[in-house]
């Protein structure tokens, strides 16, 4: 019925899946993802051998594992990007339910690996962080509920999604993982805004976040220690932030040279949370700006393609995925340059970590699938016809 009223872009009958996928996919965003993974492998070669040496492992142990997980993540990304929005919605809902159940089991079967926060399941040969896999699924199920609420006699989707997000934020705060909790809440807030939330309600939610942060500061030593370290005018040079700040300062514009950096010998998380410090020290501001450009290209191009999309679910889910992806990168780099408190958040496709890489592949795969060119016409077509 919609096509009868508004028209449709002609469909090529009998076109195979791969040619249709290649014709409709955002090739620039996909190329940027591949470049990010390549940069991650390059930085992994520099940052991980010192850690492997300290742990008595082969010098390229972590590089090989990153290559393995990265290839798996890219394979998942390509497969997910070929799916239809209906399939994306289904796997998103199933994934969110499974990840939420895993999150609820963390206090009983999880481990903290000596980092003060129970965020992982240890499998012996690897570890799994459920919150990484929860993000894309939660965005999809929230977008589905919000889109359904816009239908005639639809369910109270916005209220249901808000209750779901509050439950997830509460579980993340118990770990504690306030960084992921803030990221989840931000992604939901962006979708809620796009869905037509009043500005006064969003302002009230921001006030609640500040109030919750105050309570967390007074009740959690882990949270208070990180906030105090961020607000302190002096930086202890023996802390991770101190090492990272010194490395960025030493790198300058062109860097100290490939393999000449020293921060990787001091930072225990040089290959994960503070990988951007290694990039800044050895390759300088040039590589850092290139990395920022790649993230910006993926996020902005995705949002620009979604502006022309008329399906509410696709528009909301794609916006949430794109903004979550971009903001996670901003948070990671912001921590390294001391613009934000320490969060313990990876740099997508660049940092080492199996859960981060594979979950990132799922998230970007969903984003590429939702931003593909569709044979349904664009919202601009409707506006042009309405003026005739």
Q: 99-124: per-residue pLDDT in tens?
A: 999 989 988 888 877 676 788 888 87
- Contact present, 6 and 377 (Cβ < 8 Å): yes
Residue 27: strand, helix, or coil = helix
Tokens, residue 259: 């393999």
- pLDDT at residue number 203: 79
Decide if 365 contacts 81 (C-beta within 8 A). yes
Nearest-5° angle of CA 350, CA 356, CA 359? Answer: 120
Q: Could you give the angle at the alpha carbon of 211 between the alpha carbons of 210 and 212, nearest 5°? A: 90
- Of 172-176, 225-229, 251-255, which range is least confident? 225-229
Q: Look at residue 202 in the predicted model and tell me its pLDDT.
A: 72
Average confidence score pLDDT of the chain: 84
pLDDT at 67 (0 to 100) = 94
Instruction: pLDDT band for 360, please (50, 70, 90 cuts).
Output: very high
Neighbours of 20 (CB within 10 A): 16
- Kindly state the percentage of the chain with pLDDT values over 90: 43
* Region 324-331 average pLDDT: 94
Residue-level pLDDT at 8: 42
Q: Which comes out higher in pLDDT, residue 290 or 11?
A: 290
What per-residue confidence (pLDDT) applies to 3?
41
- pTM, to two decimals: 0.88
Residue 259 pLDDT exceeds 70: yes
pLDDT-derived band at 262 (thresholds 50, 70, 90) equals confident
User: What percentage of the chain carries pLDDT values higher than 70?
Assistant: 89
Residue by residue, DSSP assigns 289-342 as HHHHHHHHHHHHHHHHHHHT---HHHHHHHHHHHHHHHHHHHHHHHHHTTSS--
Residue whose token pair is 């469909």: 11
Q: What is the mean pLDDT of residues 320-327?
A: 96
pLDDT of residue 18: 87
Give every CB contact of residue 95 below 8 A, 6+ residues apart in sequence: 133, 134, 136, 137, 140, 362
14 — pLDDT class (breaks 50, 70, 90): low
pLDDT of 7 higher than 80 = no
Q: What is the pLDDT of residue 5?
A: 37
């Amino acid at each position: 019925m919609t096509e009868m009223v508004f028209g449709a872009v002609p469909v090529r009958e009998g076109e195979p899946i791969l040619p249709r996928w290649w014709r409709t996919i955002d090739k620039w965003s996909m190329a940027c993802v591949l470049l990010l993974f390549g940069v991650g492998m390059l930085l992994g070669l520099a940052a991980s051998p010192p850690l492997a040496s300290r742990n008595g492992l082969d010098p390229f142990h972590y590089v090989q594992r990153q290559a393995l997980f990265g290839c798996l993540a890219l394979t998942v990304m390509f497969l997910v990007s070929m799916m239809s929005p209906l399939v994306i919605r289904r796997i998103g809902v199933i994934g969110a339910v499974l990840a939420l159940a895993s999150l609820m089991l963390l206090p009983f079967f999880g481990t903290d690996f000596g980092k003060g926060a129970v965020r992982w399941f240890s499998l012996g040969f690897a570890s799994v962080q459920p919150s990484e896999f929860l993000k894309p699924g939660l965005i999809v199920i929230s977008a589905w509920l919000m889109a359904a609420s816009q239908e005639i006699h639809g369910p109270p989707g916005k209220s249901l999604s808000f209750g779901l997000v509050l439950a997830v934020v509460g579980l993340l705060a118990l770990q504690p993982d306030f960084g992921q909790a803030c990221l989840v809440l931000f992604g939901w807030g962006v979708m809620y805004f796009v869905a037509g939330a009043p500005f006064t309600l969003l302002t009230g939610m921001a006030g609640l976040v500040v109030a919750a942060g105050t309570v967390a500061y007074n009740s959690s030593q882990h949270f208070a220690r990180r906030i105090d370290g961020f607000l302190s005018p002096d930086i202890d040079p023996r802390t991770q932030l101190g090492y990272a700040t010194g490395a960025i300062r030493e790198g300058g514009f062109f860097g100290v040279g490939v393999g000449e950096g020293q921060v990787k010998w001091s930072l225990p998380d040089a290959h994960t949370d503070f990988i951007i410090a290694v990039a800044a020290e050895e390759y300088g501001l040039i590589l850092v700006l290139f990395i920022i450009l790649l993230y910006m290209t993926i996020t902005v191009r995705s949002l620009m393609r979604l502006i022309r999309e008329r399906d509410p679910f696709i528009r909301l889910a794609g916006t949430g995925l794109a903004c979550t992806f971009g903001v996670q990168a901003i948070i990671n780099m912001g921590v390294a340059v001391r613009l934000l408190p320490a969060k313990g958040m990876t740099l997508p496709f660049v940092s080492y970590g199996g859960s981060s890489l594979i979950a990132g592949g799922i998230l970007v795969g969903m984003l590429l699938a939702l931003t593909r060119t569709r044979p349904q016409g664009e919202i601009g077509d409707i506006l042009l016809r309405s003026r005739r």
